[in-house]
């Protein structure tokens, strides 16, 4: 299978959002279109999509804030899972991060989704001794 990884482009939007829904990544507090709009405003260099025969099959939304890179919305369409597509997405993200001088990638896993930890271990991630906290500044669902 020939998997191509490239930077997100606007025509990919509907397929990417559909994959996020199909993968259960869209929660009531998320507005995926607004998340994509914000990402486009910030820069899409680390926002990747996977294609098989020109069909969008997965995504990884990375970002670098000058100290750590983060990855959100890593998703592979259910019918394409188990074929190495997420590994290819993360490999490309790691290479792009390395090229811009980023020393480490962090990510968050919802407590309801901890079974994906084995996937991340398989591609070389380890569990950090940290507790994660957050503060929401906007309520997308209400806007």
Ligand X SMILES: CC(C)(COP(=O)(O)OP(=O)(O)OC[C@H]1O[C@@H](n2cnc3c(N)ncnc32)[C@H](O)[C@@H]1OP(=O)(O)O)[C@@H](O)C(=O)NCCC(=O)NCCS
| 118 touches ligand X (CB under 6 A) | yes
| 86 touches ligand X (CB under 6 A) | yes
At its nearest, how many Å lie between ligand X and the CB of residue 64? 18
| Dist. CA 143–CA 120, nearest whole Å | 34
Nearer to ligand X, 115 or 142 (CB): 115
Outline where DSSP puts E strands in the chain: 3-7, 47-52, 55-64, 69-76, 105-107
Which residues sit opposite 50 in a β-bridge? 5, 58
Per-residue binder mask for ligand X (CB under 6 A), 17-46, x = binder: ------x-x---------------------
Nearer to ligand X, 124 or 142 (CB): 124
CB neighbours of residue 42 within 10 Å = 12
Judged by the rule CB under 6 A, the positions of this chain that interact with ligand X are 23, 25, 74-76, 81-87, 109, 113, 115-116, 118-119, 122
């Amino acid at each position: 299978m020939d998997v191509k990884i490239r930077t997100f482009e606007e025509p990919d939007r509907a397929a990417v959002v559909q994959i996020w829904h199909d993968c259960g990544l869209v929660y009531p507090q998320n507005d995926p279109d607004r998340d994509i709009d914000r990402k486009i405003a910030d820069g899409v260099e680390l926002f990747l999509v996977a294609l098989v025969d020109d069909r969008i099959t997965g995504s990884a939304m990375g970002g670098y804030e000058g100290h750590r890179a983060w990855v959100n919305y890593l998703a592979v369409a259910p019918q394409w899972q188990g074929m190495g597509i997420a590994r290819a997405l993360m490999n490309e993200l790691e290479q792009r991060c390395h090229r811009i001088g980023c020393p480490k990638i962090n990510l968050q896993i919802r407590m309801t989704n901890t079974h994906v930890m084995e996937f991340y271990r398989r591609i070389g991630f380890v569990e950090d001794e940290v507790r994660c906290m957050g503060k929401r500044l906007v309520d997308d669902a209400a806007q």
